Amino acid sequence: MEYFFTQLINGLAIGSIYALLSVGYSVIYSILKLINFAHGDLCMVGVFICLTIITLTGNVFLALIATCLFGALAGLLVERLAYRPVRNVNRAAPFVSAVGTAMIMRGIAQLFWGSKMMPFPHILPTRMFHFGEVSISGMSISILIFASLIMVIVSVFVQKTRIGLSIRCVSQNISASYLMGIPVNNVIAFVYAFGAAVGVLGEVFFATYYSSVFIGMGFMGTVKAFTASLLGGLGNLYGAFLGGIILGIVEALGSGFISSGYRDAIAYAVLILVLIIKPSGIFGMKSSEKV
């Protein structure tokens, strides 16, 4: 039982990372119905920038602030140059543009930092806490706290602010939002910036949790974000967050009680099972169309 609780806490920590990755990813889909395949690779470049700033200055707080700013600015740039010009073209064009952007991000990372795995410092407490026979890492607790705090801030922002109301309106109906005078292009650009900034934090936590950063983590982040969003309900902000938590718990328990080699296979098997039972995801709603 003690081992179960230890793995559960580990699952909550890694699930919190997946949740941060999937939130921005899911919000973009809720508005544009676009699978943003460049999301993880953009965040990966942000992690390398974070590592560089920590190495040069030793200031973790400065590195995190600069990394979030980079994520927001890169999200704005990618939306303006890669997505907006093809937004209203056929559905294949945004897909090709997203994949191309991901390849460019990966090429930039390889050009500046190389293709080898690099060590990433522990920027969160690593002290072990013991509750009877249960051992919990301070890093796991910190990641869970930070992710929950970020999600609360995001939730309050979306529900209580004017721009949050605009985001919800645009996600419901873009055409009606234009007629209501909402600056749709600005709202969409903001969502890209917001999603990238939150996603970069998720990738930074991923890097510090596993003490490494590598080019392939960008694609891995995209896959995990997509999986968590599907599990919770694609386009559902809260579903994406809870989907990430569930995905992390399933992976941790599968790794701890079966084999770490089957961790991803177990998680995807659970995803397939959920989608067979409820195709819209656990927290997704069935959509209806008027004919």
Write the pLDDT tens digit of every residue in 186-203.
988 888 898 889 889 989
Top mean pLDDT of 32-36, 130-134, 139-143, 209-213 is at: 209-213
Percent of the chain with pLDDT over 70: 97
Question: Distance between CA 44 and CA 200 in Å, rounded?
Answer: 7
* Res 285: pLDDT: 55
pLDDT surpassing 70 at residue 291? no
If pLDDT is split at 50, 70 and 90, which confidence band does 131 have? Answer: confident
What phi and psi values does residue 167 have, to the nearest 5 degrees? Answer: -60, -45
Those residues with Cβ within 8 angstroms of residue 184's Cβ, 6 or more apart along the chain or in another chain? 170, 174, 177, 178
When mean pLDDT is compared across 88-92, 193-197, 231-235, the lowest value belongs to 88-92
Question: Distance between CA 36 and CA 30 in Å, rounded?
Answer: 11
- Site of tokens 């890492």: 137
Q: Which residue has the higher pLDDT, 289 or 38?
A: 38
**Amino acid in the structure at residue 211:** S
Q: Which residue has the higher pLDDT, 40 or 289?
A: 40
Q: Which residue has the higher pLDDT, 17 or 90?
A: 17
From residue 116, alpha-carbon distances to 51, 53, 208, 213, 255 in Å are 14, 19, 17, 9, 26
Residue range 2-114+133-277, CATH number: 1.10.3470
pLDDT surpassing 50 at residue 288? no
Residues 248, 254: contact at Cβ < 8 Å?
A: no
Ranges of each domain in the chain: 2-114+133-277
For residue 3, the tally of other CB atoms under 10 A from its CB is 12
Mean per-residue pLDDT of the chain: 85
pLDDT (average), residues 225-237:
82
